[in-house]
Structure 1
Amino acid sequence: MPIVKNLVTQMSGQIQVESQLGKGTTFTVELPFQSAEQEEHPCGGTLDNPVSLEGKHILLAEDNAVNMEIATEFLTMNGMKVTQAWDGQEAVECFATSLPYTFDAILMDMQMPKLDGCTAARQIRALSRSDAATVPIIAVTANAFAEDMAATTAAGMDAHISKPIDFAALCCTLGRLIGKSSKN
């Protein structure tokens, strides 16, 4: 429920709960939406010409099952292919054993078992393969202090997205970085 509450609040909505012992609980979620004709795309422009991420392959490193499920669902609903890694070591191994340019971007949680996100990013950047230096790596973390952002930059990450994830900001960031890396 805390995740649902955060998402509803982030979307400027409200959630109400009514419960009766022995009868059950009703959750009511109200979200304000504009019609598609009026809505501007979060990256600028209108929904007629958004940044397309369809067909992009994302390596998602996340150790929390709920966060993994939500992020995977969002990314696949938007036409992306997702490969899941459940810790930093698995993310490094998955990237290292894939063919070059398999992944268009990596979403890296910061606090994971075996290898934290910064260490995993450093190891990916240190691999001797053509895409290791250019694949966009985006830190995804609840830690949004300046020193956390500096640490992710020092580890070779390209951007920092705070949890709970603002998926509009994530799409904008992915679109910007994937476009940039494909021009190199």
Structure 2
Amino acid sequence: MIEVFLSASVPLPERNRIYFETADVFLIRESIRALVEVVLPKGRITFGGHPAITPLMSLYARNAKLGNKHITIYQSDFFRGEMPRENDDFADIRYTAKVAGGVAENLALMRSEMLRSRKFDAAVLIGGMEGIRDEASMFKELHPQAKVLPVPATGAAARIEFLEGDYPDFLKNEISFASLFRRALFPSPLAE
């Protein structure tokens, strides 16, 4: 079973505008849908709960009739009371303890526990803001042999990561997301 870490969010206009101005919300949604459809029949997706992404993951897993048993969601108790109701749709939801400090300290703990939770085969980066960059950096450090797959067409932090990193050129303008994920995550049909 392939283990995929998803780092995704929809940039907010009141935050760093460099992410918001380049984000393509439609392509963020479509890439997440494709990831669910391609990965869940053969693997697991782990992600940190986000108010815009959690409902999409729930909807797409339900619509694809793939169930929720191959999705692991992490949440910080720091956000208790602010979490999307769709959290209840997931069979494997893991809460990290609330720690002293603010948002940054609590997200750092959640990310650390999440990225250390299993041996990941790949990380997929979609849209996003600063957190995508933080998670990509931490993922590369903890899983140096794993693939990192930014989806630059979604814009925002994923595009910046692609432009500043050393990634295959075929990713640059790809919007056939299901095809992209099949090629990048399951390169050999015999390996499935």
Tell me, yes or no, whether TM beats 0.5. Answer: no
TM value normalised by structure 1 = 0.38
Q: Which has the higher helix share?
A: 2
Higher alpha-carbon Rg: 1
TM value normalised by structure 2 = 0.36
User: Greater relative contact order (Cα 8 A, min sep 6): structure 1 or 2?
Assistant: 2
